Amino acid sequence: MSLRILYFAGLKEKLGVAGESIELPAGVVTVGGLRDWLVGQGRDALGNAKNLRCAVNQDMAKLDATIKDGDEIAFFPPVTGG
């Protein structure tokens, strides 16, 4: 399964990349599973992020959201604005 992963704010800074395209192994079917797999691949900042937010195809999603081939997944910490 091919996915586009985007990282924002502090995650982008800690990981040193704004995004990446990945080939996900079979069996990883949720955003939480993706996050766990990415942590296992060395993206430790995702595992250490408090109150991690995510979106699937620009719609806010929870970690139990299902993912499919071609999806765009964004990870970001909570942000505030003024």
Tokens 């990883």 locate to 28
In a domain, 82, yes or no: no
Residues 6+ apart with CB under 8 A from 19: 4, 5, 6, 7
Question: ∠ at Cα 53 (51, 81), nearest 5°?
Answer: 85
Q: Tell me the whole-structure pTM to 2 decimals.
A: 0.90
Domain range for 58 is 2-67
Q: What is the CATH number of the domain that holds 24?
A: 3.10.20.30
Number of domains the chain contains: 1
In a domain, 79, yes or no: no
In a domain, 50, yes or no: yes
In a domain, 19, yes or no: yes
* Three-state secondary-structure class, residue 27: coil
In a domain, 30, yes or no: yes
In a domain, 74, yes or no: no
Q: What pLDDT was estimated at residue 10? A: 87
What pLDDT, in 10s, does the model give residues 35-63?
999 999 999 999 887 788 999 999 999 99
